[in-house]
Structure formats: C-alpha cells, structure tokens
Structure 1
Amino acid sequence: MIENKNQSRTSLEQLGEFGLIEHLTKDFPIQQESTIKSVGDDAAVLSFEKEKVVVSTDLLIEGVHFDLAYAPLKHLGYKAVVVNISDICAMNAVPTQITVSIAVSNRFPLEALEELYEGIKLACNYYKVDLVGGDTTSSQTGLIISITAIGKANEDEIIYRSGAGDNNLLVVSGDIGGAYMGLQVLEREKQVFLVNPNSQPDLSMYDYIIERQLKPEARTDIRQLLKDLDVHPTSMIDISDGLSSEIFHLCTQSKVGCNLYEDKLPLDPQFINTCEEFNIDSTTMAINGGEDYELLFTIKMEDFEKVKANPNLTIIGHTTQESEGLHLITRANTKIPLKARGWNPLANNEEE
C-alpha cells in the first residue's frame, strides 16, 4: 500500500515546490569528482575533462510500469535509479550522476515521498552516483517518475548496438526471465488479496524472482570483468524489454542475423519451478519477459576461450549474415523464426 494509515501525513502544500526539493535532497552526499555543483541552483555543473559523456532518460508511470499495490515506494525509488544506470552500463560507461523529476497527486503525503527518496538515496550510495537536479510537479493520474542518468567513458571504451559483425558470439550476463515470473506471482497474489484482504501470502519460495522484479540490480560489474578478461564487445544492449526484443534491436542496427540456442539460455531453478507451477513454457517466458537488466553483447569468435568458463557470462548463440534472418534453435534442433514479443511501451501490453 502507499503508506501506513497510522503514520502522520504532511501535506506537500506546506513545503511548496522548492521546500520539497530541498527537504528530499538535503542528505544526498557528493561522491563524484566530476560533480562541481549539484542541487540548489538553476542547473548542475559537471566537469568530465577529456572523457565522453553518455546520457539516458527513462519514464516510469503508475499503472503502466508499476503497481503500488505490491511495489513498496522505497523499492520503487531504488529500481527507478537502476533502470537508468543499466542503460549507462549498456554503453560500457561508468554512471556518475542522475536527475530525478516526479509528478505526484494529492493522495501522496510528504512521508510517502520520503520513502521513495530513501530508495533513491540507497541506489545513489550503492552505485556511487550523485543526485544533481530534477523537478517536482502535480499529477492528476498518480505517480510519475522521470530519471536521467549521466555517465562517462573514454571514446574507445564506448560500445554501441550497431557494432556486431558476422559470426560474432552472442553473450548474456546473469540469468533471464526471473523478473517477469516475479511479476506474475505478485499479480496472482494481488488478485487473491482483492478477494480476501485478510490473506497473508507466503512468498518465501519465490524470494529470488520477486527480488528480480521489485529490486533489480544494474550490471556495473561487467565493464571491469570484461576489461580483466581482455575482451572488448562489438555491440551491447541491456535487457529491459525482453531478450528477443533486444536481440532484434541489436541485429537490426548491426545489420546481421542470428541463431539463438534454446538449450543455452541461463535459467534460474526458481524461475523454472515457477513456470511449471503456472503451466507456462519457460523458454517463452525467458526470451519474452523483460526487466532483467542483464547485459546482452556480442564478442569476436577468437574471444571464446576467454569467456567460456566465466560463471557470470553465458554464450547463447552467434550472429549470421543478415540475409539468414533471426532464428531460435530448439532443444530438438529445429530452426524456427525468432519473434519479438517483449514489452512494447506504446502498445496495450499485459506485462510490464
């Protein structure tokens, strides 16, 4: 729920816009040398000297991207930062600063926003990024969060979606599909709660996949891991809209085809068990479910030996000539066209 009904409620009108911003951001320490001036003036001042700057923005809207029936505000604040930092990681850059803008309806007291910003602060501290600006305004439709993330990298370190070549290896970090199945569990329990508000669900057997949904992490570690392995990916993207959709983005911009192997997909046992419980196909969920925030990238074939045994990375396929198209090679060794059924933010999706 939005807040504990027994807590005190402070109207946002009591503070005003500038008072609210000052109140919510006063305890955010500066952690980056590139931050010259953060919150408190007309604009932030940043200095990156000779490094290139990368910038990404994401919008999260209540009822579209999150449901406050089961998403605690503290978790939501943390996740909103992670979503943006993940985009910086996908450029092989280091996240350094964020700006946060929110639109809120009058059902949110100050205490609710303090919870949200506590999550934002936790993420800033964990990822060593500075909050350097933002905006607040009113909303007639619930909570809206817009975060812009800023990062830095040397020019030769930046990786684009468009760099994959023919016969590159397709590699993914971590495991996939868990966040989407976590969402399915939460949606099911929400329906049970609506029928019986006194029910108390036991979610311990779903702890990993629910955490993947409510409190994901950005793979800031992969940049250094690849550097230590002496591997420079040819292309990269983060998995926010589903593996199949991201493969389409990467292959389309690189003008290549690909073969994705079903038996190579990295799936967590809890994810597989939950798919069986829901009687749905684990491969379909793994390649179409979004919000894993893992990194998908391509490497040259000669780098195979460097990554093949790394527990953080899995080789799931390879690129082909563009004319061959995109295919899924099933466990039965059948070659079927790969379709992108991931999250489309402009369509009426059922999933996030």
Structure 2
Amino acid sequence: MIEDKTPQRTSLAQLGEFGLIDHLTKHFGVSQESTLKSIGDDAAVLDFKDKKILVSTDLLIEGVHFDLAYMPLKHLGYKAVVVNVSDICAMNAKATQITVSVAVSNRFPLEALEELFAGIALAADEYKVDVIGGDTTSSQKGLIISITVLGEADADEIAYRNGAKENDLLVVTGDIGAAYMGLQVLEREKQVFQVNPNSQPDLDAYTYLIERQLKPEARKDVRTLLHALEIKPTSMIDISDGLSSEIIHLCKQSGVGCNLYEDKLPLDPQLINVCEEFGIDSTTVAINGGEDYELLFTIKMEDFDKIKGNPNFTVIGHMVPESEGIHLITRADTKIPLKARGWNALSEES
C-alpha cells in the first residue's frame, strides 16, 4: 500500500470543544457494573458498594516523557493507559475506570488526535476499563496527556508499600531492563535519521526491546495468579522508575533493608546482546532502567514453595534488618550499596 503523503487535516476549531469531545469519545462503551454514568454529564457516577476504591493519576508531557519522532500516537495513547493501570495493579487491585485529559497545540490536526484516542480505546478494551470523562484544552507548546485511573479491591486484598518484613522474599515479575534499552536503540536511530533522513533502520534485532518501550503492558494477570497460588504480597510496587528506586521505596516505607542478588536478575537474551553491542553493563541497565511496568513485591518466606519454578516470578533477594542497609550482592559476592539512579522527571540529568 502506497503511503498517502498528503493525509487529511481537519482543523480542531471546526468542531469546537464539545464537538471534539463527542467525536473522540463516541466509540467508548461501558463494561463495568460500577459505571452508572460515564461521559456526558458534569461528573461520572460510580457505585462501588462494598469495594475499596483506588485512584491514581499520571501526567505525560511531550519532550519529557515521550518523543513523537519515534513514538506513534496510537502507541502513545495505549501506553498512557497502561502506565496508569499498572499503578492499580501495583496495589494488587483491579482497574475499572479512567478519565483522559489532553492539551494540544495547533500543530495537531483532528486526525492526529484520532490516532491517539484509537490507542486509548484499544488499551481500554484490552484492560476492560471504562473511559468515563476528561478534558481537552489548548497547549502553547506540545502534547500533554493526563490520565486518572480508578480501581477496586476488597480491603484484605490491597498490597501497600509499607508491609515488608525482615526475611520476606523479594520477587519480580517478567524480565527487566528491556524498555530502557529499547529507548537507547530508538534514540540512536533518531540520531542516524537526523544525519541521513534517507536511511532505513533495520530494527529486526531489537523488536522485543522496542516493543517494551513503545507498547508496554500492565501486569493485570498477577493479581489472579497470586490469588490462585493463595499468596498475599506483604508489599508491592510497579517498576516505572527503575528497580533500585523501587526497592528503596519499599525498604524506606517498610523500615527494612534488602539484599538484591545480581545473579538472580531476570534478563531477556536480546537485552544481554544489545547491552554488549552498546558497551553497557546489563546489570546497570536492569537495576536502573525504568518503564518496565513489571511488579515488584515481597512475600513471606513460607510462601516460597508456592512460587518456586513458576515462570512468571523470580525471587531476586530478601529483606534484612534496616540496620544492615540496602545492597546489591554481586556475582563476585561483594556488597555494593544500592542507590536510586533511575528515572527522575524533575532532574535535568535523566
């Protein structure tokens, strides 16, 4: 199929704010019993009966959190939902509704927003969350997306960051570091493109890493898996800012220390190969790279047999008395204090 070099451009001013909202949200249905009223009134109405309600919100800003040079708008819409759903998964709860707010500059035509909202709709369908409202406004510079997510859980299901105890095992889902290396590959290709706009990148060797960066998934399955194994996490967090930062959050809020074992870190083979290609230490990437959206949690020592050998989970360390500190135990059996070198949105060095 030949690419259309002159795509249709419909001015947002033609629709007006309410016309735009109607146009972008007409495909959103309702799948949750708790959604009594979604888009179209002054507020959404939710009925949670006996459930506890969880709320989280995230702001994504062009040039800080994403680069449209290599981030397709449809992927961006999908990812914006995922990063919010992940926060609810990190509480061992189920995401149910989201609100979506966007600020756009006049360089975005209607068709660009349609792509963004197509990604949002795809994720909403995948994660069975209802889009129940939001806001649109203009922006002086680029694109800004703010999503608020609501979730539900029974009181005894919810996992907080402050429940880890000494001797608890530290467990991670999936593999880590891949999203960070996906970003490095995309940044490198962007530099090449800027020098030679005719170059066609061959990204076959990096497909997994790039997908982890451009289209991450929230671990909505973990709650079900743990429930089936009859495991209640003692503490939990998602890996958005980097493993080291998240471990430090759990330790500080729980009043414990931690030993993290380098030889236990779950790394995808593609990650190891690409780290070698870039001359970057894979352990450094695994503990400092963010945006994996895997879950990090602690369990009681006696629950070890329940997850032993389970392909979804890897035990990577254990909690120790607070006085022992937070350390990485290297393959050479040396102890290195763990520092938070992960993503910091307020730092210019990130």
- The TM-score by the shorter chain falls in which range? over 0.9
Whole-angstrom distance in 1 between the partners of 2:229 and 2:349: 39
Query: What's the counterpart of residue 29 of structure 1?
Result: 29
SS in 2 for 1:233: coil
For 1:294, the aligned partner's letter is: E
Query: What's the counterpart of residue 69 of structure 1?
Result: 69
Query: What's the counterpart of residue 86 of structure 2?
Result: 86
- After TM superposition, the runs of 4+ consecutive aligned structure 1 residues lying more than 4 A away are none
Match runs of 1:240-255 below 5 Å: 240-255=240-255
Query: What's the counterpart of residue 193 of structure 1?
Result: 193
Whole-angstrom distance in 2 between the partners of 1:343 and 1:213: 14
Structure 2 vs 1, CA of residues 4 and 61 (structure 1 numbering), >3 Å: closer, same or farther? Answer: farther
Query: What's the counterpart of residue 304 of structure 1?
Result: 304
For 2:159, the aligned partner's letter is: I
Query: What's the counterpart of residue 238 of structure 2?
Result: 238
Whole-angstrom distance in 1 between the partners of 2:269 and 2:115: 33
Deviations 1:275-297 (A, max 9, x none): 00000100001100000000000
Q: Does 2:331 align with 1:334? A: no
Whole-angstrom distance in 1 between the partners of 2:52 and 2:336: 41
Deviations 1:137-188 (A, max 9, x none): 0001200000000000000000100000011000000000000000000000
Structure 2 vs 1, CA of residues 61 and 5 (structure 1 numbering), >3 Å: closer, same or farther? Answer: farther
Q: Does 2:123 align with 1:123? A: yes
- What's the offset of the Cα at 1:349? 3.2
Deviations 1:215-269 (A, max 9, x none): 0000000000001111111000000000000000011000000000000000000
For 1:223, the aligned partner's letter is: R
Whole-angstrom distance in 1 between the partners of 2:140 and 2:305: 55
- What's the offset of the Cα at 1:336? 1.1
Segments of structure 2 that go 5 or more residues without pairing to the other structure are: none
Query: What's the counterpart of residue 18 of structure 2?
Result: 18
For 1:210, the aligned partner's letter is: I
Query: What's the counterpart of residue 182 of structure 1?
Result: 182
SS in 2 for 1:184: helix
SS in 1 for 2:236: strand
For 1:105, the aligned partner's letter is: S
SS in 2 for 1:285: helix
Whole-angstrom distance in 1 between the partners of 2:150 and 2:275: 37
- What's the offset of the Cα at 1:4? 6.5
- What's the offset of the Cα at 1:345? 1.3
Whole-angstrom distance in 2 between the partners of 1:132 and 1:320: 44
Deviations 1:3-38 (A, max 9, x none): 975111001001111111110001111111111111
Whole-angstrom distance in 2 between the partners of 1:5 and 1:84: 34
SS in 2 for 1:212: helix
Whole-angstrom distance in 2 between the partners of 1:242 and 1:177: 8
SS in 2 for 1:315: strand
Structure 2 vs 1, CA of residues 4 and 52 (structure 1 numbering), >3 Å: closer, same or farther? Answer: farther
**TM-score, with structure 2 as normaliser:** 0.99
**TM-score, with structure 1 as normaliser:** 0.98
Structure 2 vs 1, CA of residues 347 and 4 (structure 1 numbering), >3 Å: closer, same or farther? Answer: farther
**Preserved contact between residue 329 and residue 335 of structure 1 (Cα < 8 Å):** yes
Whole-angstrom distance in 2 between the partners of 1:30 and 1:99: 13
Whole-angstrom distance in 1 between the partners of 2:161 and 2:349: 25
Whole-angstrom distance in 1 between the partners of 2:4 and 2:221: 36
SS in 2 for 1:328: strand
Match runs of 1:87-102 below 5 Å: 87-102=87-102
Identity %: 77
For 2:169, the aligned partner's letter is: L
Whole-angstrom distance in 2 between the partners of 1:171 and 1:345: 26
Query: What's the counterpart of residue 207 of structure 1?
Result: 207
Segments of structure 1 that go 5 or more residues without pairing to the other structure are: none
**Preserved contact between residue 343 and residue 349 of structure 1 (Cα < 8 Å):** no
Query: What's the counterpart of residue 132 of structure 2?
Result: 132
- What's the offset of the Cα at 1:135? 0.2
- What's the offset of the Cα at 1:346? 1.1
For 2:207, the aligned partner's letter is: D
Whole-angstrom distance in 2 between the partners of 1:4 and 1:267: 40
Query: What's the counterpart of residue 289 of structure 2?
Result: 289
Structure 2 vs 1, CA of residues 108 and 287 (structure 1 numbering), >3 Å: closer, same or farther? Answer: same
Whole-angstrom distance in 2 between the partners of 1:297 and 1:222: 11
- What's the offset of the Cα at 1:115? 0.1
* Range with bigger deviation, 341-350 or 301-310: 341-350
Q: Does 2:278 align with 1:257? A: no
